[in-house]
Amino acid sequence: MTKIGDVRAKSADELNTMLLDLRKEQFNLRFQRATGQLEALSRIRQVRRDIARVKTIIGERSRAAATKA
């Protein structure tokens, strides 16, 4: 699980890369669950929440940049 402070410390490029990696992991976890290979079902929830954290920070930064402009 990713802590919000760690996410806030990352740059925009790192956040986008992290978001892409999390979405790939989410896809793989869903595939594993469908085929019955997934044992740690809680990981699906963790990844979903990590995606939400990253998207929240990206949104906050874009709104802050729009306000400054």
Q: What is the CATH number of the domain that holds 43?
A: 1.10.287.310
Candidates 7, 13, 10, 51; CA nearest to 29 is 51
Helices 42-68 and 12-35: crossing angle in degrees, nearest 10, is: 150
Give the Cα-Cα-Cα angle 59, 61, 66 (nearest 5 degrees). 95
Query: 1 pLDDT exceeds 90?
Result: no
Q: Can you tell me the distance from the alpha carbon of 1 to that of 66, in angstroms, rounded to the nearest whole number?
A: 30
Candidates 51, 29, 55, 57; CA nearest to 42 is 29
Confidence of residue 51 (pLDDT cuts 50, 70, 90): very high
Question: Which residues constitute the domain of residue 44?
Answer: 4-68
Confidence of residue 2 (pLDDT cuts 50, 70, 90): confident
Q: How many domains does the chain have?
A: 1
